[in-house]
Chains A and B, each alone.
Chain A
Amino acid sequence: MKHITYRELPGRSGYYGLLGALALVVLMGFGAFLFMEHHGHYVTGMNNQVVWGTPHVFAVFLIVAASGVLNMASIGSVFGKSMYKPLGRMAGLLAITLLMGGLTVLVLDLGHPDRLIVAMTHYNFKSIFAWNIFLYTGFMAIVAVYLWSMMERRMNPYSKPMGFLAFVWRLMLTTGTGSIFGFLVARQGYDAAVMAPMFIAMSFSFGLAIFLLVLRAMEGGFGWELGGMALKRYKNLLGVFIAATLYFVALMHLTNLYATEHHGVEAFILMNGGIYTFLFWVGFVLVGSLLPLGLLYHPATGGSRTWIVVASVLVLVGALALVYVIIIGGQAYPLVLFPGMEVSSSFNDGVVNSYAPSLPEVVLGVGGIALALALAMVAMRVLRFIPETMSDEAMQQYLEASKH
């Protein structure tokens, strides 16, 4: 197998069954949007203190994961690791669809989604948000060209430079996403420079976990073959990314602990923040990091496909918990107007702000995930994104061939 041959997803009943199920979830998400749009946001859990709710958790999760998935392509074409090359097309595709899913959720949660055109025609160039709009659309365009360069033989020579551009762009994109929070100087929970690199580390692990699940689903559902050799590399890499995320999250909290003015919010997240403390330690640290690390590296579970799936799912559960703590926990902690003083008012000054996710918000968020997956499935059915096989023998031959 000197050249990798690619194919479409087979259009069996399993395919249509899964696509139908995803479409149903997408429809439910759309219904949730119509419901919120019709009534106004009073039907959601958001209020004037916690203004970004569950849809933002899902949207940020998807956007971060989108840029992370692309790494699988970059490692292959930019860093020349042949083991990853066959998956470049799929990684590029998933990066685009995950981003679309995330952006859709973000837009549908606006107070005025009908004014999308306003957002596209009025730019305030001082706003990192406006820059993000460029980063996102640019990302989709660049990755699309990158995909084209990988899929069209004539364009092959461009795949390396395009891959490089896409890689640089994705770093900027994740930095931009992290900076949305980093720029909020008045909010004790966000005012940290390490936010941007932390988001990059997060993207690596969220993206790979999603990718592994998609690969396993193709194997289980469509009889596609993923050899143990490739799988082992990917799962080891996932372990590294989980550790890196843990490291940066720890770094952020440690740097915050150095600054006295952040002690309050740190104590809130780490010790006495109720649900946020729980989600941080149990959700992110234990379930989303330590447990999957153990599963991926323990000799008894590390080689098992089932356990690798479990570990990936846990990483994603932890990912949502972490993003929830960052976004909602950061807003739940009261703004400090008078440092060291006790304040009270009719507008929740000085008290921990309440937020409880509402059903339509969750359905909208899950709808975004379903949209990303459904779009990817449709694309994989019509175009050749999937390597014929990634069995150990095929990979062996391919690695041999690419050495010469």
Chain B
Amino acid sequence: MNETSEHTDLNRREFLTRSAATAGVALAPGVMLYSVAQARPADEPVSSAVRWGLLIDSNKCASGCSDCVSACERENGWGTGSTDETHSDATQKAQWIRKVEVKNTETGHAFTLPMMCQHCENPPCADVCPTGASFRRDDGIVLVDKHICIGCRYCMMACPYKARSFVHETLTDQKPYAPRGKGTVEACTLCVHRVDAGDSPACVEACTAENHNAMLFGDLNDPESPIAKTVATYATTQIRADLNLNPGVRYQGI
């Protein structure tokens, strides 16, 4: 264990010097600068020094806006981003991310927010998965290994956030970096292919591009990152915090 982390550290230091040069190409200042600095070369193992997280400010999230959802569909090839799933009905179609409208019936206070896999630190989906297909990477991203998922759907029973979908039919139109398959379960990957390449998730990018700036992506473990600073300064909420899952996705203004 020790040996590996030392190894990782070395690699990272070496990498940091190299990546300093690329830091300038950040797309969204602030958020991006940081993630580029943390981009992980393909030959380096995922490090637990990083905990990827998302902070969603519901105050800035516009009711009726679903730019994050469409961006995810396009990026990962589901919903309108794919020509597949023509047989499945509305309740059977996959939804990696959705907009939820919430209303306090007593006060009338209403807000809206995007809901997706919360990338729990203690993910019940991975705990119950019989084959270990559901797993959490050291950097906090929770994924499904499509090759060993047997489609038992126990993870869907266990997830408190209804974050996962089951593929009900044969698919043909997919993105190479986001494989999907009939009979397996899938969910938000936090755009792991983009994150590993130093980018931020597609939803965050879309939200920022529209100037809503309701989504902030970054490393919760790095005290200097904007997300960690915000979390340290303002009150943020984990949904169903009572379950002690410590999700990597946090919310503000709810």
Chain A residues within CB distance 8 Å of chain B:
39-42, 46-49, 51-52, 110-113, 115-116, 118-119, 122-124, 126-130, 133, 180, 183-187, 331, 335-338, 340-349, 353-354
Q: Which residues does chain B contribute within 8 Å of A354, judged by CB atoms?
A: 91
B60 to chain A, nearest CB (A): 19
Q: Which residues does chain B contribute within 8 Å of A48, judged by CB atoms?
A: 91-95, 156, 162, 164-166
Are B102 and A41 in contact (CB-based, < 8 A)?
Answer: no
B93 to chain A, nearest CB (A): 8
Q: On chain B, which size bracket covers the interface?
A: 35 or more
Instruction: Select A41's contact among B98, B101, B166, beta carbons within 8 Å.
Output: B166
Are A112 and B183 in contact (CB-based, < 8 A)?
Answer: yes
Given A112-B151, A124-B131, are A345 and B100 also a contact pair (CB < 8 Å)?
Answer: yes
Which of A52, A186, A335, A336 has the most chain B CB atoms inside 10 A of its CB?
A186
Given A40-B87, A183-B158, are A118 and B148 also a contact pair (CB < 8 Å)?
Answer: yes
Instruction: Select A51's contact among B94, B115, B166, B170, beta carbons within 8 Å.
Output: B166
Q: Which residues does chain B contribute within 8 Å of A112, judged by CB atoms?
A: 149-151, 183-184
Given A48-B165, A118-B150, A347-B98, are A353 and B182 also a contact pair (CB < 8 Å)?
Answer: no
Q: Which residues does chain B contribute within 8 Å of A113, judged by CB atoms?
A: 150
Given A133-B130, A185-B124, A345-B98, are A42 and B89 also a contact pair (CB < 8 Å)?
Answer: yes
Bound form: Cα–Cα A372–B160 in Å: 36
Bound form: Cα–Cα A183–B160 in Å: 12
Are A346 and B95 in contact (CB-based, < 8 A)?
Answer: yes
In the complex, B233 has a CB within 8 A of chain A = no
Are A345 and B169 in contact (CB-based, < 8 A)?
Answer: no
Instruction: Select A345's contact among B88, B99, B152, B157, beta carbons within 8 Å.
Output: B99
Q: Which residues does chain B contribute within 8 Å of A343, judged by CB atoms?
A: 100-103
In the complex, B15 has a CB within 8 A of chain A = no
Q: Which residues does chain A contribute within 8 Å of B95, judged by CB atoms?
A: 48, 346-347
Are B169 and A337 in contact (CB-based, < 8 A)?
Answer: no
Q: Which residues does chain B contribute within 8 Å of A47, judged by CB atoms?
A: 89, 91-92, 168
Chain B stretch 53-93: residues in CB contact (< 8 A) with chain A: 87-89, 91-93
Are B124 and A345 in contact (CB-based, < 8 A)?
Answer: no
Are A129 and B128 in contact (CB-based, < 8 A)?
Answer: yes
A389 to chain B, nearest CB (A): 46
Q: Which residues does chain B contribute within 8 Å of A338, judged by CB atoms?
A: 102, 239, 254
In the complex, B209 has a CB within 8 A of chain A = no
Q: Which residues does chain A contribute within 8 Å of B159, judged by CB atoms?
A: 186
Are B99 and A127 in contact (CB-based, < 8 A)?
Answer: no
In the complex, B167 has a CB within 8 A of chain A = yes
In the complex, B2 has a CB within 8 A of chain A = no
Give 10 nearest A-B pairs by CB, closest first. Answer: A111-B151, A111-B183, A186-B160, A47-B91, A40-B169, A129-B130, A42-B168, A124-B132, A51-B153, A122-B131
A108 to chain B, nearest CB (A): 11
Bound form: Cα–Cα A47–B95 in Å: 12
Chain B stretch 118-137: residues in CB contact (< 8 A) with chain A: 124, 126-133
Bound form: Cα–Cα A49–B161 in Å: 11
Bound form: Cα–Cα A372–B214 in Å: 56
Closest chain A residue to B109, Cβ basis: A341
Are B130 and A127 in contact (CB-based, < 8 A)?
Answer: yes
Bound form: Cα–Cα A128–B149 in Å: 16
Given A40-B167, A337-B115, are A347 and B162 also a contact pair (CB < 8 Å)?
Answer: yes
Q: Which residues does chain A contribute within 8 Å of B104, judged by CB atoms?
A: 340-342
Q: Which residues does chain B contribute within 8 Å of A187, judged by CB atoms?
A: 157
Chain B stretch 19-71: residues in CB contact (< 8 A) with chain A: none
B118 to chain A, nearest CB (A): 10
Bound form: Cα–Cα A224–B161 in Å: 56
Are B240 and A122 in contact (CB-based, < 8 A)?
Answer: no
In the complex, B191 has a CB within 8 A of chain A = no
Bound form: Cα–Cα A184–B157 in Å: 7
Bound form: Cα–Cα A337–B99 in Å: 13
Instruction: Select B100's contact among A42, A126, A337, beta carbons within 8 Å.
Output: A337
Instruction: Select B127's contact among A40, A126, A345, beta carbons within 8 Å.
Output: A126
Are A110 and B152 in contact (CB-based, < 8 A)?
Answer: yes
In the complex, B185 has a CB within 8 A of chain A = yes
Are B157 and A122 in contact (CB-based, < 8 A)?
Answer: no
Q: Which residues does chain B contribute within 8 Å of A124, judged by CB atoms?
A: 126, 129-132
Bound form: Cα–Cα A162–B233 in Å: 64
Bound form: Cα–Cα A343–B161 in Å: 13
Which of A123, A187, A338 has the most chain B CB atoms inside 10 A of its CB?
A338
Instruction: Select B105's contact among A49, A118, A337, A341, beta carbons within 8 Å.
Output: A341
Closest chain A residue to B69, Cβ basis: A346
Are B158 and A186 in contact (CB-based, < 8 A)?
Answer: yes
Closest chain B residue to A39, Cβ basis: B169
Are A186 and B102 in contact (CB-based, < 8 A)?
Answer: no
Residue contacts A-B, CB under 8 angstroms, 13 given: A46-B168, A48-B95, A110-B150, A112-B151, A115-B151, A119-B130, A123-B130, A124-B126, A124-B130, A127-B127, A129-B128, A340-B105, A343-B102
In the complex, B243 has a CB within 8 A of chain A = yes
Bound form: Cα–Cα A123–B153 in Å: 16
Q: Which residues does chain A contribute within 8 Å of B160, judged by CB atoms?
A: 185-186, 335, 337
